[in-house]
């Protein structure tokens, strides 16, 4: 996208898309879900504006990173079929890029269009593509595999299902209309053709634009304000934290980012039994407005040294907000842009629900990994969440004029 469009996109990104509380979650502590602020527009905006918003396909960065949270999301991983290699991957990425560009512009796909999104506008649709570590083996491009794609370390709280983890290719789809999002998901899956097969797929959601009286930071399924301390594009080190600079060892990743994807189940039955005050002490923030327990508004700095009349820390030493705070982790931070999910109820009535955690960073070894290691050693939130799936993907920069996504990798 042009510099002007990029600046606009960044300004729209909510002032609250923040620094990573890596348990995957969450919470306002080191919060993360980007709010709907900009997408919602001014209070009382016409509903038609939700459908008319289009996100550019081309630019310095792929769409789906800097944009505000969307109401509906689909995450899907593919594996190349046996025998498919670099040639097939090139053809696939050409097809996927062409489809994504048309759909994001609100254009039909022609004779093969299913009509699912007929009559709807682009609805802030974004389609984002990434490559897993195994992709480089399958395509003979091991020499171009970044070190940042080295496997994530094991964490004691992991309960990972390998069938819902990893993958050669990853696609993130988001939109402010469920039919528009499904239409894109179906198109991507069909265009995979005989080159790739679905490995896993997950569905998510967020609050719809305009659902609140004024723009505000989103809440997760625990009811917590989630995203208060996300890094902001206005911060001088934002690009350094989130995007890969030019001139690195893998030039094809310039302007790109690394996505850590985790399916984090929230044990809501256990969480909801906690009294409100105890929930707030687990997080380190007020549930009503996301403000730190040490006072001020949602975006106020947390006074980690403050003690109460009893001499005890106001924000407990194992509170999620304390442990995941960048100042407690050598400045480590991620741009968290998740979706909530709900996949029904178990036989015991417990909801299978939680967070599709998506964290963007220039290097996961300096972002997600150190924060998650610290959370793994004593976060008060850990008994109430379970990491059930995981993936790490290299997401190249946005395509230039006439390019498809990943061309600088596949044809360099």
Alpha helices in 41-107 (DSSP H): 48-52, 86-104
Residues sharing a CB contact under 8 Å with residue 28, sequence separation 6 or more, in sequence order: 217, 224, 225, 226, 227, 228, 229, 283, 285, 290, 298, 321
**Cα distance between residue 104 and residue 189, in whole Å:** 16
Q: Per residue in 9-21, pLDDT tens?
A: 443 443 334 333 4
Average pLDDT rounded to a whole number, residues 229-237: 92
Rg (CA), the chain: 20
Position 35 confidence tier, pLDDT thresholds 50, 70, 90: very low
For the chain, what percent of residues have pLDDT higher than 70? 88
**Average pLDDT, stretch 108-123?**
92
Res. 67: pLDDT tops 90: yes
Query: In angstroms, what CA-CA distances link 93 with 128, 132, 191?
Result: 11, 14, 10
Q: Whole-number mean pLDDT of the chain? A: 89
- The per-residue pLDDT for range 334-390, each reduced to its tens digit, is 999 999 999 999 999 999 999 999 999 999 999 999 999 999 998 999 999 999 999
Distance between CA atoms of residues 149 and 139, nearest Å: 16
Instruction: Please state, in angstroms and rounded to a whole number, the distance separating the CA atoms of residues 238 and 235.
Output: 5
The reply to whether 226 belongs to the active site is yes
In this structure, the number of other CB atoms found within 10 A of the CB of residue 179 comes to: 15
Q: Average of pLDDT values for 275-283?
A: 97
Indicate whether this model's pTM tops 0.75: yes
Q: Which of 5-14, 178-187, 281-290, 300-309 has the lowest mean pLDDT?
A: 5-14
pLDDT at 48: 58
> How many other C-beta atoms are found inside a 10 Å radius of the C-beta of residue 245?
11
Q: H or E segment at 283? A: helix 276-283
**Cα 366 to Cα 245: distance, rounded to the nearest angstrom:** 15
Q: Which residue has the tokens 């083996």?
A: 137
Taking a C-beta distance cutoff of 8 angstroms, is the pair 337, 34 a contact?
A: yes
Q: Kind of pairing, strands 257-266 and 339-345?
A: unpaired
Band of the pLDDT at 54, cuts 50, 70, 90? very high
- Mention every residue, 6+ apart, whose C-beta is less than 8 A from residue 212: 36, 40
SS3 182: helix
Tokens matching residue 392: 């790490």
Report the alpha-carbon distance of residue 159 to residue 139 in Å, rounded.
Answer: 30
Q: Is pLDDT of 412 > 90?
A: no
Of 169, 191, 174, 144, nearest in space to 392 by CA: 169
Q: Which of 79, 177, 226, 376 is catalytic?
A: 226
């Amino acid at each position: 996208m042009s510099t002007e469009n990029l600046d606009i996109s960044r300004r729209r990104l909510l002032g609250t898309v923040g620094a990573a509380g890596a348990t995957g979650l969450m919470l306002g502590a080191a919060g993360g879900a980007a709010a709907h602020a900009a997408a919602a527009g001014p209070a009382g905006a016409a509903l038609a504006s939700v459908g008319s918003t289009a996100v550019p396909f081309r630019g310095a960065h792929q769409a789906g990173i800097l944009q505000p949270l969307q109401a509906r999301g689909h995450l899907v991983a593919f594996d190349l079929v046996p025998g498919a290699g670099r040639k097939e991957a090139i053809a696939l990425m050409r097809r996927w890029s062409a489809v994504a560009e048309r759909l994001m512009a609100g254009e039909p796909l022609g004779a093969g269009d299913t009509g699912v999104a007929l009559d709807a506008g682009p609805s802030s649709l974004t389609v984002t593509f990434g490559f897993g570590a195994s992709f480089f083996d399958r395509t003979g491009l091991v020499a171009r595999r970044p070190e940042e794609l080295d496997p994530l370390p094991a964490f004691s709280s992991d309960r990972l299902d390998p069938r819902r983890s990893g993958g050669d290719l990853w696609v993130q789809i988001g939109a402010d209309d469920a039919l528009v999002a499904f239409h894109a998901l179906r198109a991507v899956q069909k265009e995979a053709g005989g080159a790739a097969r679905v490995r896993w797929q997950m569905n998510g959601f967020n609050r719809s634009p305009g659902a609140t009286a004024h723009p505000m930071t989103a809440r997760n399924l625990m009811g917590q304000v989630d995203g208060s301390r996300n890094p902001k594009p206005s911060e001088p080190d934002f690009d350094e934290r989130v995007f890969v600079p030019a001139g690195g060892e893998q030039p094809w990743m310039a302007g790109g980012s690394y996505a850590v994807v985790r399916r984090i189940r929230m044990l809501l039955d256990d969480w909801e039994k906690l009294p409100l005050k105890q929930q707030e002490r687990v997080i380190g923030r007020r549930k009503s407005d996301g403000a730190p327990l040490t006072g001020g508004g949602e975006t106020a700095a947390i006074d980690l040294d403050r003690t109460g009349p009893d001499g005890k820390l106001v924000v407990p030493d194992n509170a999620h907000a304390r442990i995941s705070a960048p100042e407690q982790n050598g400045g480590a931070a991620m741009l968290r842009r998740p979706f909530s999910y709900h996949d029904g109820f178990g036989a015991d009535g417990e909801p299978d629900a939680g967070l599709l955690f998506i964290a963007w960073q220039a290097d996961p070894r300096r972002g997600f990994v150190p924060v998650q290691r610290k959370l793994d050693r004593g976060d008060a939130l850990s008994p109430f969440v379970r990491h059930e799936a995981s993936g790490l993907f290299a997401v190249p920069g946005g395509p230039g004029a006439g390019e498809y996504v990943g061309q600088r990798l596949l044809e360099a």
